[in-house]
């Protein structure tokens, strides 16, 4: 029975991969007319793949080393399971990242070409690229978990998550450093010192900058969400297997507790696919089926109106409808699955899942309120530019610090409600609920950088400004919708970390982690300190990498003859190489921090202190992640708001002040902030895998 | 027996007050020659006292309200003790603040006059003022505790601490807002827009700025250290009474556990006085005794050399020797007291105390490394000015985030060592050890703003620039030595909060605060969020208050005729009034947060969740306090380093970039950062006092 259910999950995972394959075939059928566009797309593609290749070579040593270490622990009761699960997790994450990046860098030039034909065509291509990335992540993730569970054991699953998390942390940090170093180098020397526009082909760092968007926003984000998705499912399986809270007779949920999260995630894949099909209907083989369904649905007047609006090319509306349809199906499916798995406790589990989904959506809404220029907070930051850069910084910092209030309260409410209904298993299921529609959420997230890249290519190929306008519009729509994705990511990170934390306590045979115990309190202080140290290290790494890039770009402007007159060709590859090497070198120390600290504290101060370390890291990690992401987002959008002509507009001292804010915010929101989500889960999952060592 | 020991403590407290009185008489004998200096000193004195009067009027309502609430709880098992102890604590804190401010604003003009005669004379007057402030704080504090203990009970002592902490939080936040609003208003409009130098009498905000230095750095800091000092002693008494960890036979320490911290603090007063006497020997009545001692000590060649250097006018050396002598006597005394109180466990308690002292001194040293321009970190921030304000901000932020590492490790080591030696009582005694020489540490801290004010008065009275140079030199020496005081303050805050936390758990009859319990975890997340919210609120408050001041100063420059030609007199009082009102209005919300949140969480989520709240708040509070204080300090000194002529010096774009950093750092280091120390202790002590409510 269980084997059948797990096989079913595996097939659902493959379905997502199959869907991605169909969309890929359709997308590749779109031609690139302009040879210059094709060439640039190819250069970016090569640069991005070269980075990944180099990164994976480095990581191969790391993964191999950890694999051997885990295998070496075979004799002390670990068995061989964790070692192979770790390897599988790392490989799956790497495969999802590699394939996603491959597709995204094929989609950018095609989107540029399509944009020349209109917004609808461009949306179709860009969203196709995004949905391939999204579906690959969830498909490979779920299929991987199913394989690990079938061939290894529940206990080994944590090591699968650890593999995914380690790759994710390095990819996020490395990608974040790469993209910001290239961005700062291109902007500071190109835009400000040489006075040429953004994405100008004369700028030596322009290719590195466009490669960086893919490395950071596609590969980094894919690895990040792969990790979130996989760990939420694994955490739920781990606590579900042992959970005795749900039924009053004291029996553990056992296999049903393992199967439910898998099925929930599997149903999420189907829901995501149906949402994606609404946004972009022309998928080979599926097309006819979709047409048939829509033909019948159109008979309802209300549905017809919605479909007409989507077909009319309202991209923002289409994305929103797609997500809502997926979310609605998801919640309906959660009810049916709860009924099937936990007959007498249907409502308990269902409402726990729903509380997670609602909290995620509301956190997304709050995030939007604090980071979109449609609302007062960002306008206040923009207004602060009238008294100079210092007040822009202060208002952005205080906005970020204030913005932690509501998300934390929502996370707390979801925790309390889901725990009251279905124990720790409920908390874990709330996180799975939040992330079950990762497929479509990531599609929406990933299509943004594709559109952005398409715009860059248009600019560099000197196409008509109309093309750029189309891609800019698509990009900005994606940014707004992506706020919900961010909310789901941070909310689920907190809930998943809590579930993994409980799983660690169970695995380490801890009956309580008492903060009155000074060892635990010391662990908490050390754990609370780590996210601060991590942020400092990654911000400094960005600074050093950017410095190296600035010097190279300055050197080229100085030494390459005729670069400004477009008679001499800048050395793009050199800049790509600098970003690549700097990112790889700088990602090592912050990445290792997360792996070494739990091990050290566990060995030196004991398993209870390690529990305290994890608790402290979760608390400050969640706060800093929210603070940095929202401050960074607000500065970014305040700058854009001024560029739209408010508070003086471009070229004024106000704009210069806002640019300072944006520059400070870049490593906040693109390097340190998003990595913290991974950091706290990686530390917890490392502790969980190594728990037998500390008993 | 106990009564005798407590009476002895009371007398030692009065000794400090008596010493302050003798120094005050000596200081008042110094005349002010220049009538302009006398007048300005008087205006500042009046402005500062007017602020305190208004602040205390507001706080009287608050204190009265809380007093009545506590009295109203009489019937539910509280008794009348807590209400009266709260009142006494608040009154003692207010008295220490009032007297200290009174003296400091008498000392400033006298220091200006003395500075005309040379550095030695100026140091003598300024340090006299500082040591009166310092001795009043410890004297009134210790005498107050003794009275509360004699007439009320051990249980009521926590309410004494709560009274001191509430006043301290409002004084720190209010003072911090006042001083920064005035500072920004004076600098931004005066220095940058009108182009007149600092402390120019034509600037309408100049008096408010000088009043602000007293309100923030003297009154705010006095209340802060009063609170730290009093709470560390009270926490040690509370856990000492019930402590069963020290002896293996399971008996509680009882009265010896109460007497030891009192005697330790009392001995600290004597040690501080002897250190102060070394720095400034001419104290009426004591002079002869000191001379007699020094005459005999001089027979040792090494001592003679040291004394000659002090008499030669080396102020930095004198301060350092004074602190080391006090510290040395303190440690020797701690050994004797441990021997007397805990015969068989002498070394256990003594080493616990010593570990605290050492940790405090080392944290001070680390603080200096991160915030003094003698070391690489601040130089790096200064160098970042070459690429503009954004990199100055980023390097300062990452410096602050990194700077938490060593202090947290030192706090953890002190906790582990002192707990291993003497249980929770050991941790509490380590905090008392750190703070026992508050008398001299605060003297050194408080003399800085007096010297600074003296310089301001010299400038406004248009005395020769030589006078200003003398006071600037004194101020900068004080800043360096003050780093140690800051280290003691933050280190002791963490240890005191931990002890109070344990005392809360005992009072609430909690056997464990288990973070695996979701209520506790939710409490931790909420508690971890509060310091972020608090920082945001206080940074915003500074922004709003500064805005009001900017507008008023601009208005005066525009509307008052002949202000720039010195024919029209600016309306100083209006600016003082604006700062006063803004500070009082803005301090309410952040201040109430600390009082209301523990109560709400305790009532709604229960006593274990409240324990979690306190744990979370301690963790993020300590991190943010270190981060903000060190970032702010580094930006300040990076700016000064550039002003000394490095990286281009004054007037360059580099300097402008560094000024942005300094402006961002001002509310960090003077408003939000130092308030956090108080916040975490106030929340814990409120929980401790109200603990019977939650059982």
| pLDDT tens-digit map of A87-103 | 999 999 999 999 999 99
CB atoms within 10 A of CB A472: 17
Please tell me chain A's helix, strand, coil percentages from 3-state DSSP, rounded to the nearest 5: 85, 0, 15
Half-sphere exposure of residue B498, counting CA atoms within 13 Å on the CB side? 34
Is B243's pLDDT higher than 80? no
CB contact under 8 A, B401 and A533: yes
Instruction: Give tens-digit pLDDT for B352-397.
Output: 999 998 998 899 889 989 998 889 999 999 999 988 899 999 999 9
DSSP string, A358-414: HHHHHHHHHHHHHH-TTSHHHHHHHHHGGG-HHHHHHHHHHHHHHTTHHHHHHHHHH
Helix (H, G, I), strand (E, B) or coil at B514: strand
Instruction: Give tens-digit pLDDT for A1-40.
Output: 778 888 999 999 999 999 999 999 999 998 888 899 999 9
The whole-angstrom separation of Cα B415 and Cα B430 is 8
pLDDT in the model for residue A394: 95
CB contact under 8 A, A533 and B405: yes
Q: Does B509 touch chain A (CB under 8 A)?
A: no
Half-sphere exposure of residue B554, counting CA atoms within 13 Å on the CB side? 11
Q: What residues of B are in contact with residue A514 (Cβ under 8 Å)? A: 512-514
pLDDT in the model for residue A531: 97
The whole-angstrom separation of Cα A158 and Cα A499 is 12
CB contact under 8 A, A401 and B611: no
The whole-angstrom separation of Cα B62 and Cα B21 is 31
CB contact under 8 A, B513 and A518: no
Average pLDDT, chain A: 90
Helix (H, G, I), strand (E, B) or coil at A645: coil
State how far residue A407 is from chain B, nearest Cα, in angstroms.
Answer: 10
Is B279's pLDDT higher than 90? no
Q: How confident is the model at residue A314 (pLDDT cuts 50, 70, 90)?
A: confident
CB contact under 8 A, B660 and A537: no
Q: How confident is the model at residue A290 (pLDDT cuts 50, 70, 90)?
A: confident
The whole-angstrom separation of Cα B34 and Cα B36 is 5
CB contact under 8 A, A402 and B536: yes
Residue A277: closest CA among A267, A287, A266: A287
Is A248's pLDDT higher than 80? no
Task: For residues A579-604, give the mean pLDDT.
Answer: 90
Instruction: Give tens-digit pLDDT for A471-496.
Output: 888 887 777 666 677 777 788 889 89
The whole-angstrom separation of Cα B470 and Cα A495 is 59
Task: Identify the helix (H) or strand (E) that includes residue B124.
Answer: helix B119-151
pLDDT in the model for residue A291: 81
Q: Residue B345 corresponds to which tokens in the numbers above?
A: 């466990």
Is B482's pLDDT higher than 70? no
Instruction: Give residues 298 to 337 of B whose Cβ lies within 8 Å of A.
Output: none
The whole-angstrom separation of Cα B305 and Cα B301 is 6
Q: What residues of B are in contact with residue A498 (Cβ under 8 Å)? A: 518, 521
Buried b or exposed e, range B402-415, using 16+ CB within 10 angstroms: bbbbbbbbbbbebb
Query: Closest partner residue to A515 among B388, B515, B543, by Cβ?
Result: B515
Kindly report the backbone phi and psi dihedral angles of residue A514, in degrees, each rounded to the nearest multiple of 5, phi listed first. -95, 115
pLDDT in the model for residue A482: 67
Kindly report the backbone phi and psi dihedral angles of residue A503, in degrees, each rounded to the nearest multiple of 5, phi listed first. -60, -40
The secondary structure of residue B194, as a DSSP letter, is I
Task: For residues A500-504, give the mean pLDDT.
Answer: 91
Task: Assess contact for A222 and A446: CB atoms under 8 A.
Answer: yes
Residue A32: closest CA among A449, A447, A467, A569: A467
Q: Which residue has the tokens 């306090």?
A: B625
Q: Residue B540 corresponds to which tokens in the numbers above?
A: 């915003």
Helix (H, G, I), strand (E, B) or coil at B195: coil
Global pTM value: 0.94
Residue A494: closest CA among A628, A681, A224: A681
Q: Residue A599 corresponds to which tokens in the numbers above?
A: 């091990």
Q: Residue A546 corresponds to which tokens in the numbers above?
A: 């950017």
pLDDT in the model for residue A142: 96
Task: Assess contact for A162 and A482: CB atoms under 8 A.
Answer: no
Query: Closest partner residue to B513 among A514, A611, A616, by Cβ?
Result: A514
Cα separations in angstroms, B418 against A70, A165, B351, B410:
37, 37, 7, 12
The whole-angstrom separation of Cα B106 and Cα B44 is 9
Instruction: Give tens-digit pLDDT for A432-481.
Output: 998 988 889 889 888 888 998 999 899 888 888 888 888 888 887 777 66
Cα separations in angstroms, B205 against A447, A635, A675, B561:
54, 31, 45, 16
Residue A455: closest CA among A101, A178, A185, A111: A111
pLDDT in the model for residue A483: 67
The whole-angstrom separation of Cα B164 and Cα B156 is 13
Q: Which residues contact A244 (CB under 8 A, 6 or more apart)?
A: A250, A251, A252, A253, A423
Query: Closest partner residue to A529 among B397, B547, B623, by Cβ?
Result: B623
pLDDT in the model for residue A286: 83
The secondary structure of residue A73, as a DSSP letter, is G
CB contact under 8 A, B522 and A412: yes
Helix (H, G, I), strand (E, B) or coil at B470: helix
Instruction: Give tens-digit pLDDT for A47-105.
Output: 999 999 999 999 999 999 999 999 888 777 677 888 999 999 999 999 999 999 999 99
pLDDT in the model for residue B79: 77
Residue B657: closest CA among B638, B673, B674, B670: B638
User: Helical H runs in A203-300?
Assistant: 206-213, 221-242, 255-279, 286-297
The whole-angstrom separation of Cα B184 and Cα B549 is 8
Kindly report the length of chain B.
695
Comparing A404-408, A451-455, A524-528, B306-310, the range with the smallest average pLDDT is B306-310
Helix (H, G, I), strand (E, B) or coil at B274: helix
Test the B interface: residue of A184, A356, A396, A412 with most B CBs within 10 Å: A412
Comparing A145-149, A381-385, B29-33, B161-165, the range with the smallest average pLDDT is B29-33
The whole-angstrom separation of Cα A574 and Cα A568 is 15
């Amino acid at each position: 029975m269980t084997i059948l259910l797990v096989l079913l999950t595996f097939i659902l995972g493959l379905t997502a991969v199959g869907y991605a394959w169909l969309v890929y075939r359709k997308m590749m059928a779109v031609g690139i007319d302009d040879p210059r566009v094709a060439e640039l797309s190819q250069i970016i593609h090569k640069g991005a793949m070269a980075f990944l290749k180099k990164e994976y070579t480095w990581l191969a040593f790391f993964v191999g080393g950890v694999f051997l270490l885990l295998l070496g622990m075979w004799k002390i009761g670990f068995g061989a399971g964790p070692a192979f699960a770790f390897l599988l997790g790392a490989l799956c994450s790497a495969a999802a990242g590699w394939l996603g990046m491959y597709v995204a860098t094929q989609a950018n030039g095609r989107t540029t070409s399509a944009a020349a034909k209109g917004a609808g065509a461009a949306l179709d291509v860009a969203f196709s690229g995004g949905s391939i990335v999204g579906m690959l992540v969830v498909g490979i993730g779920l299929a991987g978990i199913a394989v690990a569970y079938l061939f290894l054991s529940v206990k080994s699953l944590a090591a699968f998550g650890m593999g995914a998390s380690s790759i994710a942390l390095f990819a996020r940090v490395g990608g974040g450093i790469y993209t910001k170093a290239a961005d700062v180098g291109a902007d500071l020397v190109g835009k400000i010192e040489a006075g040429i526009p953004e994405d100008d082909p004369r700028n030596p760092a322009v290719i590195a900058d466009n490669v960086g968007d893919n490395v950071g926003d596609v590969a980094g984000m894919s690895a990040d969400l792969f990790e979130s998705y996989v760990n939420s499912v694994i955490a739920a399986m781990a606590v579900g297997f042992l959970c005795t809270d749900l039924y009053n007779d004291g029996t553990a949920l056992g296999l049903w507790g393992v199967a439910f999260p898998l099925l929930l995630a599997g149903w999420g894949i189907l829901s995501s696919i149906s949402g994606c099909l609404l946004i972009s209907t022309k998928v080979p083989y599926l097309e006819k089926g979709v047409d048939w369904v829509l033909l019948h649905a159109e008979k309802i007047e209300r549905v017809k109106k919605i479909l007409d609006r989507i077909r009319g090319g309202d991209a923002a509306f289409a994305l929103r409808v797609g997500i809502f349809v997926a979310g609605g199906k998801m919640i309906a499916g959660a009810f049916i699955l709860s009924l099937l798995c936990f007959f007498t406790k249907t409502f308990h589990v269902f409402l726990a899942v729903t509380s997670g989904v609602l909290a995620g959506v509301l956190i997304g809404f709050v995030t939007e309120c604090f980071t979109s220029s449609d609302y007062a907070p960002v306008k206040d930051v923009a207004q602060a530019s009238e008294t100079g850069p210092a007040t822009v910084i202060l208002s952005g910092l205080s906005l970020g610090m204030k913005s932690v209030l509501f998300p934390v309260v929502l996370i707390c409410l979801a925790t309390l409600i889901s725990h009251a209904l279905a124990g720790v298993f409920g908390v874990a299921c709330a996180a799975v609920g939040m992330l079950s529609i990762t497929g479509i959420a990531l599609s929406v997230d990933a299509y943004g950088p594709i559109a952005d890249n398409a715009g860059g290519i248009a600019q560099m190929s000197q196409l008509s400004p109309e093309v750029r306008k189309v891609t800019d519009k698509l990009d900005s729509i994606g940014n707004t919708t992506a706020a919900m994705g961010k909310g789901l990511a941070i909310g689920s990170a907190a809930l998943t970390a809590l579930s993994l934390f409980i799983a660690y306590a169970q695995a380490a045979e801890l009956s309580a982690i008492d903060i009155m115990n000074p060892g635990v309190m010391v662990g908490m202080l050390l754990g609370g300190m780590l996210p601060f140290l991590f942020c400092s290290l990654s911000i400094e790494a960005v600074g050093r990498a950017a410095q190296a890039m600035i010097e190279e770009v300055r050197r080229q402007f100085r030494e390459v003859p005729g670069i400004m007159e477009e008679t001499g060709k800048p050395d793009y590859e050199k800049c790509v190489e600098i970003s690549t090497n700097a990112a790889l070198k700088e990602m090592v120390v912050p990445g290792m921090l997360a792996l070494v600290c739990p091990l050290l504290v566990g060995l030196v101060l004991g398993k209870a202190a390690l529990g305290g370390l994890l608790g402290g890291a979760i608390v400050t990690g969640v706060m800093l992640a929210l603070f940095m992401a929202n401050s960074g987002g607000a500065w970014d959008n305040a700058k854009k708001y001024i560029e739209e002509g408010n508070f003086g507009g471009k070229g004024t001292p106000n704009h210069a002040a806002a640019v300072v804010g944006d520059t400070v915010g870049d490593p906040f929101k693109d390097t340190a902030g998003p990595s913290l989500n991974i950091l706290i889960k990686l530390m917890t999952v490392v502790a969980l895998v190594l728990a037998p060592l500390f008993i």
